[in-house]
Chain A
Amino acid sequence: MENVYSKTSPQNSNLSPKDETIKFLLDYSQALSVIDCNKWKFEALLN
């Protein structure tokens, strides 16, 4: 049988991130607060 030298392209239909990833992002967003202080912006992650 002949060799196939081309790479198989990844199947990218119906691809979605894991639920944990989305949950992490939403939790991160809730925990992150940006504090404005005299032109400076501080990021604070609150657990």
Chain B
Amino acid sequence: MNTTIPSDAFLVNAYINGNEKALSDLIQRHKQRIYSFIYSKVADRDVTEDIFQDTFIKVINTLKRGAYNEEGKFLPWVMRIAHNLIIDHFRKNNRMPKFENNGDFNIFSVLCDDDLNAERKIIKGQVEEDLRRLILELPEDQREVLVMRLYKDMSFKEISDQTGVSINTALGRMRYALINLRKVIDKHNIVLVN
């Protein structure tokens, strides 16, 4: 019984002459080596699969067009095609960098949507409404300073000019306004946190 394994050159020739089974044999013979080579460079199974497929599409096209002239060096030739496609892949990715999640780092831990969701928007509205009602309970002079400072974003100098009191008095009123607000919040166990 003859059990000699046909050489690559023999299979390539057979394939060029129309034997489709020869291509299957060539792929089976070299698939692991070529696939591992690609994976060792790109470290991604899906990209490896794509490059492996593109490599053999080029091989098939070249062989079918009769443009192959490297008899006896089939594997190095295929490896060179794969190598060129790997370089193309990295060039493409450099132009358009792609972030992927792996075990060590998750891109969404640094990228997030800061917008409040519907529930948080409602809570924020309620907190602001509660705070407004508490402010209304403050003595008139303290409320005036607090509203100018926090809601109108005025400086203590501007508050002092507008209310006709010294800056120190305005600062003191602001301080007492905050102390009183805290007291009411503590007394009634009000939670003002979103």
Contact = CB atoms under 8 A, between A and B. Distances in A.
Nearest to B27: A22
Nearest to B32: A16
Interface residues of B, number: 23
A37 to B, nearest CB: 13
B35 A26 contact: no
B20 A25 contact: no
A30 B15 CA distance: 11
Contacts of B64: 29, 32-34, 43
Given A25-B53, A26-B23, A16 B35 contact: yes
Given A22-B27, A24-B53, A34-B65, 16 more contacts: A10-B43, A12-B36, A12-B39, A13-B36, A14-B32, A15-B32, A15-B39, A16-B31, A16-B32, A18-B49, A21-B49, A22-B24, A22-B28, A25-B23, A32-B61, A32-B64
6 contacts: A9-B40, A12-B40, A17-B35, A29-B23, A34-B65, A43-B65
Interface of A: 9-10, 12-18, 21-22, 24-26, 28-30, 32-34, 41, 43
